[in-house]
């Protein structure tokens, strides 16, 4: 089974290759591993549903300037906290990562609305 660190290295390789579509796929695997390894099947299923509903928007937000690198830095903070056995730090890093995605999603929706007007 793929480890979170291996999934994160695959994300970094996609960035190094300047491949946003590859990063999107590897990022999805990274997130799915977190859901799976949460040990909470209800949470995993709910997160997967939300992930599926937001899928078209998540791909677009990765095209925003610097977002892949920012996302990668957020992943590193998550993996480091987990590796070091710091659950509170990992939880904060995960919350921050999700909050940033929400902010980027809001910015994307705003820009699409402005472009349509």
- Condensed to tens digits (0 to 9), the pLDDT of residues 84-96 reads 999 999 999 988 8
Task: Report pLDDT for 107.
Answer: 66
Q: How many CB atoms lie within 10 A of CB 4?
A: 18
| Closest alpha carbon to 79 in 26, 29, 34, 16 | 34
**Do 24 and 62 form a contact (C-beta atoms < 8 A)?**
yes
DSSP 8-state secondary structure symbol assigned to residue 3: -
Interior/surface letters 47-57, b for 16+ CB within 10 angstroms, e for the rest: beeeeeeeeee
Residue 60 has pLDDT above 90, yes or no: no
Mean local confidence (pLDDT), 46-60: 81
Residue 45 has pLDDT above 90, yes or no: yes
- Full-model pTM: 0.79
d(CA 27, CA 71): 9
Q: Which two tokens stand for residue 48?
A: 């997967």
What distances in angstroms separate CA 92 from CA 33, 51, 79, 95, one per listed residue?
18, 20, 12, 5
Residue 82 has pLDDT above 80, yes or no: yes
Kindly state the percentage of the chain with pLDDT values over 70.
Answer: 87
């Amino acid at each position: 089974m793929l480890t979170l660190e291996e999934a994160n290295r695959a994300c970094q390789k996609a960035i190094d290759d300047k491949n946003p579509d590859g990063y999107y796929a590897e990022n999805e695997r990274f997130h799915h591993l977190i859901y799976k390894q949460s040990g909470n099947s209800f949470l995993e299923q709910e997160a997967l549903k939300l992930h599926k509903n937001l899928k078209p928007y998540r791909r677009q937000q990765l095209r925003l300037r610097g977002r892949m690198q920012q996302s990668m830095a957020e992943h590193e903070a998550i993996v480091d906290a987990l590796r070091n056995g710091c659950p509170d730090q990992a939880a904060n890093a995960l919350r921050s990562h999700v909050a940033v995605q929400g902010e980027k999603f809001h910015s994307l929706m705003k820009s699409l609305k402005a472009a349509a007007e």
